[in-house]
Amino acid sequence: MRFEVDGTPVEAEPQPGQVLRTLLREQGVTSVKKGCDSGDCGACSVLVDGTPVHSCITPAHRLEGRSVTTAAGLGTPEQPHPVQRAFAEAAAFQCGFCTAGMVVTASTFTAEDLADHHRRLKGNLCRCTGYRAIEDALAGVVNTTCGPAGDAVGASVRAPAAMRIVTGREEYTLDVPPSPDVRATEALLHLAVLGSPHAHARIVRIDSRAAEALPGVHAVLTWRDDPGVLFSTGRHESRLDDPDDTLVLDRVLRFRGQRVAAVVAESVRVAEQACALLEVEYEVLPSVHDPDAARRPGAPLLHGEKTTAEHRIAEPGRNVVAALHGETGDVDAALATAAATVEGVWSTGRVSHAALETHATRGRIDADGRLVLRTATQVPFLVRDEVARVFGLDPERVRVVAKRVGGGFGGKQELLTEDLVTLAVLRTGRTVQYEFSRRDEFTIAPARHPMRVRVRLGATAEGVLTALHVDQTMDTGAYGNHGIGVMYHSVSESVAVYRCPNKRVDAESVYTNNLPSGAFRGYGLGQVVFAVESAMDELARELGIDPFALRRRNVIVPGDALVVTDPDEETDLQFDGSSGLDQCIDLVEDALATGPDTAEHDRALPCMDGPVLDDSADWVSGSGMAVAAIATVPPRGHHAHATVELTGEGRYRVGVGTAEFGNGTTTVHTQLVATALGTTPDRITVHQSDTDAARYDTGAFGSAGVVVAGKALHAAATALRELIVERATTVVADRTPRTATGVLGPAVHVGPDGVRVGDVHVPTAELLAAGPLVAHGQHDGTPRSLAFTVHGVRVAVHRPTGEVRVLQSVQAVDAGTVMNPEQLRGQVEGGAAQAIGSSLYEEVVLDDTGRVTTDSFRNYRVPKISDVPRTEVLFAETHDPLGPLGAKSMSEAPYNPVAPAVANAVRDAIGVRPYRLPMTRDRVWALVETGRS
């Protein structure tokens, strides 16, 4: 079959039933992405004879004689298509994985299409941006700059990768050719997994003879091939933070979909066919799917045999991974004498990260015999160290490379594919690739921990908190990855944000035979903040106090003691950073009071399909707010090293270990270095997320890349500036000994031809003649500060159906010094959009046997462009003494206050409080119908 791709003739024979996406990828066309393979997300969008299609559902054989255009064919970084330029200038991406498909679709828009873009872009999902910046791009709004010289911090500097992303040239995990060296010249092998059909079972026997006999099969891996070293898929700076409860291939299966066996073959199709030929005999074991049932005597035990201290499981005989019970003051006594009390139990469902790039790893042995893993991870160094430990390798003999990751949200702090690929590479000696499907993302990748949270509050008649009790139970699923850390974190800042003399915290993290839970944006805070902030709203009602005033009266201020829940941390910590929380409360209150609340405005909002927003009594409206705090650095340590080097071309080469997955770290890093060195961001080249390119970095946890790696990098750049001045002084002194020092000034600017120190010019070659100029910096992430977010919403609820529409959404944030206003705004908008999704409709649903029933974007609804209200973003003005140039981290924080703000607004509208997330139409309808929570 002959056809054309981006103007180049192609001759290829599609397999029976093959789709265009996979055929294009086989031809090396990497500007076409895989997001879902079911026509739902649009990451694979291409033009066929000028018409946009989802290539993942377009039969390949229809391409005979036709012309395909991808993002790479629309334009180049030097000569982009106008739509591509607009996306770059508007900062209309974060991870950028959706962008190639998005610009392809948008490139066909007429003026009428632009006016109707909510419908025309419905088939292109973006998980990161919240869509406002994409709408700006369509409208031709320019939000970014290339950056002023010497003072890049504070400017909306464009992401260094912008032009590569919008033209489909940025390389994600599997976008490089598989054979970069001599040892991997044989064809790439693929790995497929047979998942458990049972929630709890023991493998009695596996007959793999038929699978092994299938042509193209290279290896069948079973529990017999397991290296026998327990580990956790959750990764942290200290590996002791998670229980050792997982094997690469276990003989006991603890949730549906867990690996039974893996097949390595010459194609995914053959590997999957071979999986179907495996004959497995199981001993089915009783299973338990509710955390309360799992803790009762006689419940099936998931890890009952893992009883030693090395396993780090608190009570294996009760299925309890971790437990926390602590109190300051006397909560019961304070409640007994309080003027007003509130008590309730709130619950939250599972949420999928739904990052558009699925988990994937490609592994090989390089020419030096080292294991090289190219993988979609937020934590390359932690993956390197754990893979080396599990397989008994020297960490120096393992290299992990991440490059740009297509979205993470915490989901890529898990070691989900790297271990199995390593096993396959070591067994076969070949290059092996394992790529999750979208179904895998929903059914076997960890989701956000579901929680049940009981809150008790007590206060004086004036609204001063006297008692605060949080009792949390979380379902960690079949394995304890992040089950300990999320538990501690969930009840820390959510309780610490309020001053109160009597506080009590109870929390337990419980094993069940459900899908494992894991790290998710906010790291447990979102669930508990939902409960605490709902309770605070109820307390305000009880006392007849305005909810903003109640928060003002009780929030933490600098100098206050911090609640410390983690036993490994110091217990006498106090809040030493800056606080703009009071400013945030004022900003949101003003915005809600003065915001557009006319019927005309509300009716003009892009609305979901459904009843027309009208003046009838069917619609009721209400408003709500909530506050949240989050530590600026993850607990229990975070370390970053960074290097900055002057190159012969007069540029600066930065080596940093953290990963870029849409959090904007790379942009901020270029700004920090440019500012320290008095140059422009375009002269900085960042090499990151490669364990060979930097000394060490814990990885991308929240915005630690800004506040920890950023601080290390700023220190390195400042040190390099001093080195350059020193070297220039020597060079100039040698050149004109009598006058040199008198004319040298502090300013340094490196251009292609050299350095200017004061008014003396020193060529780069002269500077480097005496040896390389390179400086190092490091930071350990301590002490930590607090970042704050306050969210306000106005909603309309349709009483006959339970539909909730967000009419106004505003968030004020205290991010310290705002490094890049447009980027920060995008992070807040994206976090708010993701949180609105999980407030109202996103939920990974399991039946009572542990089977995931929401396994595609068809039945797990991610917000589309037409679903998301614009969130107005406001910045408090603070300067944090602990962060780099006064900055705090922010990428997780915007998520946390949104759900309670929406719940409080729904309560305001219908008079009945929602206690469960998501607040789906049927649940809200039931609240309206029954008048009871």
Cβ pair 387, 357 in contact under 8 A: no
Q: Which is nearer to ligand FES, 128 or 372 (CB)?
A: 128
Q: Which is nearer to ligand FES, 70 or 287 (CB)?
A: 70
β-sheet with 773-779: strand ranges across: 684-688, 652-656, 640-646, 773-779
Report in angstroms how near the CB of residue 127 gets to ligand FES at its nearest: 4
Report in angstroms how near the CB of residue 129 gets to ligand FES at its nearest: 5
Q: Which is nearer to ligand FES, 425 or 700 (CB)?
A: 700
Q: Which is nearer to ligand FES, 477 or 894 (CB)?
A: 894
CA dist 90 to 31, 93, 663, 789, 903, Å?
21, 9, 16, 24, 32
Which 3-state string (H, E, C) describes 205-227? EEECHHHHHCCCEEEEECHHHCC
Can you tell me the distance from the alpha carbon of 182 to that of 185, in angstroms, rounded to the nearest whole number?
A: 6
Q: Which is nearer to ligand FES, 467 or 835 (CB)?
A: 835
- The full DSSP string for 513-549 is SSPPEE--TTTTHHHHHHHHHHHHHHHHHHHT--HHH
Report in angstroms how near the CB of residue 688 gets to ligand FES at its nearest: 18
Q: Which is nearer to ligand FES, 407 or 850 (CB)?
A: 407
Cβ pair 490, 527 in contact under 8 A: yes
Can you tell me the distance from the alpha carbon of 710 to that of 669, in angstroms, rounded to the nearest whole number?
A: 6
Can you tell me the distance from the alpha carbon of 357 to that of 334, in angstroms, rounded to the nearest whole number?
A: 50
Can you tell me the distance from the alpha carbon of 664 to that of 643, in angstroms, rounded to the nearest whole number?
A: 19
Cβ pair 100, 841 in contact under 8 A: no
Encoded amino acid at 253, one letter: L
Q: Which is nearer to ligand FES, 126 or 248 (CB)?
A: 126
Can you tell me the distance from the alpha carbon of 231 to that of 247, in angstroms, rounded to the nearest whole number?
A: 6
Can you tell me the distance from the alpha carbon of 606 to that of 868, in angstroms, rounded to the nearest whole number?
A: 8
Using DSSP, state whether 458 is helix, strand or coil.
strand
Report in angstroms how near the CB of residue 165 gets to ligand FES at its nearest: 8
Report in angstroms how near the CB of residue 836 gets to ligand FES at its nearest: 16
Report in angstroms how near the CB of residue 97 gets to ligand FES at its nearest: 5
Report in angstroms how near the CB of residue 96 gets to ligand FES at its nearest: 5
Can you tell me the distance from the alpha carbon of 194 to that of 277, in angstroms, rounded to the nearest whole number?
A: 10
Provide the greatest CA pair distance for the chain.
91
Neighbours of 761 (CB within 10 A): 14
Q: Which is nearer to ligand FES, 287 or 663 (CB)?
A: 663
Report in angstroms how near the CB of residue 113 gets to ligand FES at its nearest: 20
The H or E element that residue 386 is part of is helix 380-391
Neighbours of 681 (CB within 10 A): 26
Q: Which is nearer to ligand FES, 131 or 652 (CB)?
A: 131
CA dist 143 to 93, 101, 815, Å?
12, 21, 19
Report in angstroms how near the CB of residue 668 gets to ligand FES at its nearest: 17
Residue 594 half-sphere exposure toward CB, CA atoms < 13 A = 7
Cβ pair 154, 818 in contact under 8 A: yes
Residues that bind ligand FES (CB under 6 A): 93-98, 126-129, 356, 407, 662
Burial 99-109 (b: 16+ CB within 10 A, else e): bbbbbbbbbeb
Which 3-state string (H, E, C) describes 29-90? CCCCCCCCCCCCCCCCEEEECCEEEEHHHCEHHHHCCCEEECHHHHCCCCCCCHHHHHHHHH
Report in angstroms how near the CB of residue 880 gets to ligand FES at its nearest: 27
Report in angstroms how near the CB of residue 161 gets to ligand FES at its nearest: 12
Report in angstroms how near the CB of residue 83 gets to ligand FES at its nearest: 15
Report in angstroms how near the CB of residue 102 gets to ligand FES at its nearest: 7
Peptide bond into 918 cis (omega under 30): yes
Structure tokens at 882: 């602990």
Can you tell me the distance from the alpha carbon of 895 to that of 493, in angstroms, rounded to the nearest whole number?
A: 14
Can you tell me the distance from the alpha carbon of 545 to that of 556, in angstroms, rounded to the nearest whole number?
A: 19
Using DSSP, state whether 435 is helix, strand or coil.
strand
Can you tell me the distance from the alpha carbon of 708 to that of 237, in angstroms, rounded to the nearest whole number?
A: 13
Can you tell me the distance from the alpha carbon of 516 to that of 243, in angstroms, rounded to the nearest whole number?
A: 13
Rounded-to-10 torsion of CA 268, 271, 276, 278: -160
Report in angstroms how near the CB of residue 128 gets to ligand FES at its nearest: 3
Q: Which is nearer to ligand FES, 102 or 334 (CB)?
A: 102
Q: Residue 108 gets which letter from DSSP?
A: T
